[in-house]
Structure 1
């Protein structure tokens, strides 16, 4: 009798991609396409989204979520089921869109199931959805043996969202245009941060619209932005005290207008010894800069004891990468 033939197990590739902090975000006027010109200085941090891409027959792309580790965002008071409820599990998911774009560009006939582990706060101004998309691109590129180089993946990424190319790249970088035109920026050593998410997300388009309203009301003259040279020098110096003096975010006043409780969180972090505090991107996640690793851990503990969810991270962190065993 011939031995039974068992079908090969489906192949799975696991990839992680980082969330980000905008250590500088200068916003210019609205463009004809509805976006705004920006000059952003990105810093990838050690809070990672994870995507496991598994081969499936046919050309379909599906997505599901797996709970995050208890020590990460995604399972605490601001995460868990509430996070899942705010993440589309259909063709509107950025990871699905990224996989579909790669499938089209590389003329792939195979399909994939994408399992997401979300640790970056949803709608938190830290590019979690963009990190999902970047991870899906890298995972499916390997899963389907597409063989696309980083430059080709970055072009596809730019069509998915402004922050997706940076999630591929990681490290520190200047982003121009709508943030997709990247130039790596030198950064010395590690900068240590404490992140505080809040339960309700802020819509990025709504925050930009509020900034436009504030500027129009003030009669502000809005010009094309340029990267902040002081922030670039501070990153290169490796000195957190120098960086603390120059952190900036043009979207912060709009985020505070739409979510006034953020002002109290910023003040609380400063009272507990943060070198600097700012809203991350369009918010509502708040980032506090510490003087070092131990200082950041102490600050996170202090804020947690005072009723906030707080988590210490560092940056720059690496970009999207395949995990061992994939």
Structure 2
């Protein structure tokens, strides 16, 4: 009988980064997480994960910030693969090759994108045939942003972010992302700063804003810009003051909006047009405010299998 190890071919999956158009943080829950209300948008910066049958479990990482990504059992893509294997009754090992373009520890869910890509790639390699709902259920066990990385597009996230529902959104939005020139920010550290800042405050349960929903239905960047919001922005800036300088400079160069992406430190800059995004990127780098910028549009699709390369 032919085993999966002998017959399966490698599968490569591409998964997108995200930006939180809105991130409202509620009180700390008994499980240690915070209740969230967020609106995700998937943007055209991607990581790729290739799953290949192997004699033992393993992971390798190349591309942007590769040296900052663990390749041991703590790697989120490998966690995802092993979780799926257990969920489906045990599978033969795979080696995961991760190629990164999404900044590490930048508030753009690069690790979650890798996990989502690994789930989809391993599902294909093993032929487990799980549907989207089943994969999303597994994804939610791995991390708060992983279900959205599977789905993509624009969506509301609730719970700790893992409960995802699509949002009616029109238009294409033009983004410039400014990754941190220094080290990334630890998400737990940013949430601890949020808790410290709000100690003794009655933090309400978060709800999505009607203003943002309306702006997304309009499809106009000029209507979206004034309603973008992030409860964690003051805490990210307190931990890395240079973030505030980038935001101020981007607005001075004509951005419609500039704000912290997720828990930071990446700054998301919204431009009115594709040409405007190019001008902003040039201004930010030429001025010395940013050593590195990335341009992208959104929304884009979630994790998807790439066609096999032709020999």
Q: Deviations over 1:197-243 (max 9, x none)?
A: 01210000110110111111xx4320110012211111111000110
**Aligned equivalents of 1:38 and 1:106: distance in 2?**
30
CA distance in 2, matches of 1:45, 1:111: 31
Partner of 2:140: 158
Task: Specify the alignment match of 1:32 in structure 2.
Answer: 30
1:65 aligns with one of 61, 66, 87: 61
Alignment of 1:1-326 (within 5 A): 11-57=9-55, 60-67=56-63, 74=64, 83-198=65-180, 199-216=182-199, 219-307=200-288, 308=290, 309-325=292-308
Instruction: Please give the secondary structure, in 2, of the residue aligned with 1:183.
Output: strand
Contact 1:10 1:56 in 2 (8 A): no
Extract structure 1 runs of 4+ deviating beyond 3 A.
7-10
Which residues of structure 2 form unaligned runs of 5+? none
TM-score by length of 2: 0.94
CA distance in 2, matches of 1:257, 1:64: 34
Secondary structure of the residue that 1:245 maps to in structure 2?
helix
Q: What SS class does the counterpart of residue 266 from structure 1 fall into? A: helix
Indicate conservation of the 8 Å contact 2:91/2:126, yes or no: no
Across the aligned residues of Structure 1 and Structure 2, the Cα RMSD in angstroms comes to 1.3
Output one character per residue of 1:267-292: Cα deviation in whole Å (capped at 9) or x when no partner: 11111110001000000000000001
Bigger shift: residues 45-54 or 292-301: 292-301
Aligned residues of 1:28 and 1:38 also touching (Cα < 8 A): yes
Q: For 2:227, what is the secondary structure of its paired residue?
A: coil
Q: Structure 1: give runs of 5+ residues left out of the alignment.
A: 1-6, 68-73, 75-82
SS in 2 for 1:206: helix
- In structure 2, what is the Cα distance between the partners aligned to 1:241 and 1:64? 42
TM-score by length of 1: 0.90
Cα distance, 1:118 vs structure 2: 0.8
SS of alignment partner, residue 235 of structure 2: helix
CA distance in 2, matches of 1:278, 1:45: 15
